[in-house]
């Protein structure tokens, strides 16, 4: 009899606790207060990249990003462009996940392929630039061009390179700070380099 009474009392208390928790959850939901959203990594481009390449990561809830990991290695640098776009520059890397961490959590997407960088054929100086950059590139014996692209891949400037010219100066005054790519193309070969403005 005592065992039965004790069980009834414990069941009654458990029932009261469950009802109280349900009421609390209902009040919280009705208050309109929402917990901060965790980051969501939806896609990234390019899927394979070498050191110095800028990766465009798209998704949601990137504000406050504190860490970006590319294939198991921290990004050399990253810029939160908006709540839905992060630009990250590949440092030393490996194949694996693209991982974004904010104060509200972490998310990742599989499929990043790290490609070791070939010997440098191009350099940009200064690499944290204001006013202008000088691009040191292969001298072309046929028509070649240099293009400056923003983090979304939009061409900002397109310059035709003179024959046998080993470097080209590009005016960058008026451009917004961020990570840009400089591409050199002679019709059969393209070389790219990331630069911070």
Domain 123-196: which CATH class?
A: mainly beta
**Is the CB of residue 197 less than 8 Å from the CB of residue 178?**
yes
DSSP 104: T
Q: Is the pLDDT of residue 86 over 90?
A: yes
144 vs 165: CA distance, rounded Å: 10
**Long-range residue pairs from 116-120, CB within 8 A, at least 24 positions apart, any chain:** 116/50, 116/51, 117/50, 117/51, 117/52, 118/50
CATH classification number, 40-114, choose in 3.40.50.2300, 3.30.2000.20, 3.40.50.300, 2.60.40.10:
2.60.40.10
In the numeric block, the tokens 């403005």 are attached to 197
Query: pLDDT-based confidence at 188, cuts 50/70/90?
Result: confident
pLDDT of residue 9: 43
- In degrees, to the nearest 5, what angle opens at C-alpha 62 toward C-alphas 56 and 104? 145
**Is the CB of residue 124 less than 8 Å from the CB of residue 158?**
no
Phi, psi of 190 (to 5 degrees): -125, 135
pLDDT of residue 78: 95
pLDDT of residue 196: 82
Question: What is the three-class DSSP state of 6?
Answer: helix
């Amino acid at each position: 009899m005592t065992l039965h009474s004790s069980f009834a009392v414990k069941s009654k208390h458990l029932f009261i606790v469950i009802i109280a928790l349900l009421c609390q959850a209902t009040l919280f939901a009705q208050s309109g207060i929402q917990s901060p959203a965790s980051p969501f990594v939806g896609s990234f481009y390019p899927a394979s990249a070498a050191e110095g390449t800028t990766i465009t990561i798209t998704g949601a809830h990137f504000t406050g990003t504190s860490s970006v990991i590319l294939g198991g290695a921290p990004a050399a640098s990253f810029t939160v462009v908006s709540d839905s776009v992060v630009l990250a520059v590949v440092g030393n890397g490996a194949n694996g996940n693209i991982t974004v961490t904010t104060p509200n959590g972490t998310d990742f997407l599989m499929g990043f392929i790290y490609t070791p960088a070939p010997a440098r054929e191009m350099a940009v100086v200064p690499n944290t630039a204001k006013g202008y950059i000088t691009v040191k590139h292969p001298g072309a014996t046929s028509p070649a061009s240099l293009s400056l692209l923003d983090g979304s891949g939009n061409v900002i400037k397109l310059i035709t390179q003179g024959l046998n010219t080993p470097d080209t100066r590009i005016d960058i005054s008026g451009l917004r700070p961020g990570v840009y790519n400089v591409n050199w193309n002679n019709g059969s070969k393209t070389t790219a380099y990331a630069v911070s403005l």
